[in-house]
Structure 1
């Protein structure tokens, strides 16, 4: 399908000949299709006007920000799939599409007439991606959210500090991880279709996807018959390896990962901790980690963060200030490496924000320029015209409440 002005096509991008339909909401489905859009796909976001579209549209400051972040570089159409004509239009879209992404609750697609088997009848070559809470099994019908997957997967159990309640990650890790696997599934399905000529149904679950991030902890618990506790910013393999508060109230992460780096760290901080028997070897430091952290904290507390970071970086030891999200948007490296792009938000031209671009770098294509997230149904008429609907038919569908 050709594109309107809303989302520009990039002829050099690997998915520039692919059309993706997205019936997604909140994070997982929209983030999956965003990845595909940034790889060049024409992504058409399908929403229902009567319900206000994606449930985070105009919902709250955080909800609006989530919508803006994951729905750029897409086009938008409104359809009411509960009407016969609305569903018929959707089937026309499916017939022209290469892939479909949805993260509706289990059973909802089938009730709407858009389950995999139903859409396969319309387009046998369609790659159908479902992002769900769980794969088939005892949990498959349970309601799922990002924190559910974080709790069940063990991620929540090792996040935070031992003397505090379990904590969820500060961003939607489970949603985003499932979305990444969903995008991989779509690309893999399209690749396999080139060989077999047939589409397929791929499912990317929040729970199992998050468990995949916990692989080494699962292996550890079984091999050593031990259950890890929350670890804060530390690591079981190294010491020192933690965050320390500098004189200007900025936290700084310091993580030497070899004996040589430990000795260089001490030199950079102008201390002789590496010469003390209690801290000489890694085994010594791990055995006396509380005392070691207290000593380092006392030294770092006397200096501002930028001075600490500069001195430690100079000797090649891993170190970084803990930046808040405002500081991330102003980070000199991200700006210099073109990692961020500016979009006009759906709140209006006066609200422009920086968003992260596709982090991949390729020798054959560049990261796309981000476009403004589409207004609800912004491209409906243009998309229907591409399908062959004339102006009178589009107006009839609108008057009948199908759009």
Structure 2
């Protein structure tokens, strides 16, 4: 990719100065979470991402609410914003000029929208044979493909809601947009695969990443269990039917701590750390016996944990090698000493909703050969329109005409 100058050049924070996707240009026609999160992952690997937004408001969650603004500010860091009204013929010509330079297009429009605008994959593949076209949809082509889709729809249909929450209570959605993000991860992986394939074939392709099927894939081992053992799992809270104990426990200071020994050595270590002689109790000697007598075991552990502070409980169990963690609130995660020490957060200024700088997660993977991007702020609506158009050869009068005609 060349020809579109990048006024927000990414640099690696350590190791090599180059990133794996430094020479890749991505156009994003995205809104809310799924499309923008996918292209953010590509930006984290060095891609230049141009977010193409409608001039009247842009992304649907820009300026929508505190949660919407915060979602926007996170998933749209490290991008440039270009406003184009793609219903305008003149603006569509600009978009086609961009496609001449682009490697990847990511879109999560409602089904049929891109085709109505004349920018569906079948419209573009002959004109831009090397283009990789990533569509993030609710469903793969099939009986459901035209249904409206949201993250909770995928969580409900996939069975994820049925195992989330507590027995006797209504099903609950995940506390974050797990279906949107699952589709985004699969979309980004497919784009990387398509880029690798293009090196060998010289041709692009279309990949579709669906919320529903991506979330079903996350349920894979429960589907395998149901098929193999003819048993349907129900809500699990924080527990897991394979282990005992494996759950959250309230402490003397009214905190919650997760404890999950996953082997006999760790079970014995738990008993030692908490001065319990349960490992020799005939009800609890083996994992099978602990599962059979789980209610009695949990009652004992709940009383024991309630007599210790969370700090003491975590410290004693951790010293003995027992998997344990305090259940952190979101503000505690931001102050987590490990995350601070490993430079996990990057600070950006918000494009929407607040003037306060924010610490937000960086790309979590570390590499021996390349660093992580020094993140740029999420863009204001249309912030980079003029420099992007200028780099395509449009002069000031061209840009003004586009604006007067309603294209920008």
Deviations 1:255-301 (A, max 9, x none): 00111110110110111122211111111100011111110010000
Whether 2:399 is the aligned partner of 1:394: answer yes
Q: TM-score, normalised by structure 1?
A: 0.98
Residue 126 of structure 2 aligns to a residue in which SS? helix
Counterpart pick for 2:269 among 253, 264, 279 = 264
Residue 278 of structure 1 aligns to a residue in which SS? coil
1:8 is matched with 10
2:73 is matched with 68
| Preserved contact between residue 348 and residue 357 of structure 2 (Cα < 8 Å) | yes
1:344 is matched with 349
Whether 2:181 is the aligned partner of 1:179: answer no
Counting only pairs closer than 5 Å after superposition, residues 204-283 of structure 1 correspond to structure 2 as 204-283=209-288
Q: Tell me how many residue pairs correspond in the alignment.
A: 402
- Deviation for aligned residue 1:4: 4.1
Q: Note the aligned Cα RMSD (angstroms).
A: 1.2
| Preserved contact between residue 4 and residue 392 of structure 2 (Cα < 8 Å) | no
- Deviation for aligned residue 1:347: 4.0
Deviations 1:104-130 (A, max 9, x none): 011000001110011223311000000
1:158 is matched with 163
**Unaligned 5+ residue runs, structure 2?**
none
1:101 is matched with 106
| Preserved contact between residue 69 and residue 353 of structure 2 (Cα < 8 Å) | no
Could you tell me how far apart the structure 2 residues matched to 1:78 and 1:372 are?
Answer: 17
2:46 is matched with 40
| Preserved contact between residue 9 and residue 16 of structure 1 (Cα < 8 Å) | no
2:330 is matched with 325
| Preserved contact between residue 6 and residue 374 of structure 1 (Cα < 8 Å) | no
Counterpart pick for 2:123 among 101, 115, 118 = 118
Deviations 1:350-377 (A, max 9, x none): 4111111001111111111221100000
| Preserved contact between residue 36 and residue 183 of structure 1 (Cα < 8 Å) | yes
Could you tell me how far apart the structure 2 residues matched to 1:148 and 1:197 are?
Answer: 38
| Preserved contact between residue 62 and residue 69 of structure 2 (Cα < 8 Å) | yes
Could you tell me how far apart the structure 2 residues matched to 1:3 and 1:325 are?
Answer: 38
Counterpart pick for 1:360 among 365, 384, 392 = 365
Whether 2:24 is the aligned partner of 1:22: answer no
Deviating 4+ runs (over 6 angstroms): none
Q: Which moved more, 1:366-375 or 1:307-316?
A: 366-375
Cα distance change, pair 15–188 in 1 and its aligned pair in 2 (3 A): same
Cα distance change, pair 348–369 in 1 and its aligned pair in 2 (3 A): farther
Deviations 1:328-352 (A, max 9, x none): 1111111111111111111478411
- Deviation for aligned residue 1:3: 4.0
Q: TM-score, normalised by structure 2?
A: 0.97
- Deviation for aligned residue 1:162: 0.8
**Unaligned 5+ residue runs, structure 1?**
none
| Preserved contact between residue 6 and residue 48 of structure 2 (Cα < 8 Å) | no
1:143 is matched with 148
| Preserved contact between residue 66 and residue 353 of structure 2 (Cα < 8 Å) | no
Whether 2:136 is the aligned partner of 1:131: answer yes
| Preserved contact between residue 20 and residue 43 of structure 1 (Cα < 8 Å) | yes
Cα distance change, pair 349–205 in 1 and its aligned pair in 2 (3 A): closer
Cα distance change, pair 14–218 in 1 and its aligned pair in 2 (3 A): same
Residue 353 of structure 1 aligns to a residue in which SS? strand
